[in-house]
Amino acid sequence: MSHALRQGRLIDALEADGLEALVVSDLANVRYLTGYVGTNAAALIARDRRLLITDGRYAAAARATVQGADVRIGERDLLGDLGEALRELGPQAAAGFEADTMSVARHRRLEERAGRALQPTEGLVAALRAVKDADEVELIREAAGIADRALARILAGPLVGRTEREVAFHLHAALRDEGAEDPSFPIIVASGPRGAHPHALPAAEPIPEDTLVVIDLGAAHRGYCSDMTRTVATGDPPPELERAYAVCLDAQESALAAVRAGAAAVEVDAVARKAIAADGFGDAFPHGLGHGVGLAVHERPGLRPTSTDMLAAGMVVTVEPGIYLEGIGGVRIEDLVLVTDDGPEILSGAPKQLIGKDGVAA
């Protein structure tokens, strides 16, 4: 989908809310709408005015990459430049700003510089971004394939005795060798009792034998992200962890089967949550089932008990139940999934049987 078409859809959404223009300050949203890549820019999007403002550091790059919008190079005074652009639009045009990401201080200054009030909006571009077009799905599919191959490289060698940080770094190198720009988030390698912490940082500690290792990684590829978790054994883990693995995998596959266009996100979350609770691990799954993935590794929709999102064809989401047993270890199994009218299309390709145990190979 062209950037101009994305801008057109945003304008349709704006007009449905009684607005004529939106100041887009969130950089991922700016990228989505215009193609701009960098650290200092904003856009003003209206039916007859599409403007990308950045500074001299990005002048050449912006002129080469921005589509569907005029590029204005300012003096690193984005709020002043936006204020001027809003004045050019005329005082009668109802204009909004992104209240969910713009700070209170910047909002106050922007209104001062524009000499007018702006309407708070939330999630307008996020709602567009949640449904991927074919080009986006292809990039995410490629990112998922990169992560599959990177994980396979690492699992072809030993884990025991290497530190978590070494393994994480070699995963990073493998992601890059397979074509990623970078990991899409800090890689998690959490073994033994550290696996009981869902967001453990890789430790400078060796991975022990006879336990589970949670490995959560993703590739950043031409702006798009992937996200996948596998949990592998190092020999013969404690029986409670083996049971947790089997319960988690059943819950994950049940939830996957519930993914389809028109399903309520909260219901998909509930499928996994009920399965885990029914097997006695109800307190051990303290996070949501999943989230959308795209330009950001966490975006709409949310699959969690408080979500009001509905799944739609073209969404790309994670399905990642976990079971965490303090002092013992953890399990998380996560696939990246494209939502279709007919059900889930799983983009993650790594195997899900418990590998590393009793000689089961990757």
Q: Which residues form the interface with a copy of itself (CB under 8 A)? A: 37-39, 55-58, 60-61, 97, 99-108, 120, 122, 165, 169, 172-173, 176, 182, 186, 196-201, 286-287, 326
Contact 231, 349 (CB under 8 A): no
Contact 334, 327 (CB under 8 A): no
Residue 303: CB minimum distance to a copy of itself, A: 14
Return d(Cα 288, Cα 32) in angstroms, integer. 26
Parallel, antiparallel or unpaired: strands 322-325 and 299-303 = unpaired
- 162 phi and psi angles, rounded to 5 deg: -80, 150
SS3 at position 275: helix
Residue number with CB closer to a copy of itself (91 or 120)? 120
Residue 111: CB minimum distance to a copy of itself, A: 11
Residue 343: CB minimum distance to a copy of itself, A: 29
Residue number with CB closer to a copy of itself (199 or 358)? 199
| DSSP state for residue 334 in the 8-state scheme | B
Residue 312: CB minimum distance to a copy of itself, A: 24
Residue 21: CB minimum distance to a copy of itself, A: 17
Return d(Cα 196, Cα 326) in angstroms, integer. 5
Residue 108: CB minimum distance to a copy of itself, A: 8
Residue number with CB closer to a copy of itself (69 or 175)? 175
Q: Is 197 left (phi over 0), alpha (psi -120 to 50) or beta?
A: beta
Q: Is 142 left (phi over 0), alpha (psi -120 to 50) or beta?
A: alpha
Residue number with CB closer to a copy of itself (176 or 274)? 176
Residue number with CB closer to a copy of itself (87 or 108)? 108
Contact 110, 82 (CB under 8 A): yes
Residue number with CB closer to a copy of itself (143 or 347)? 143
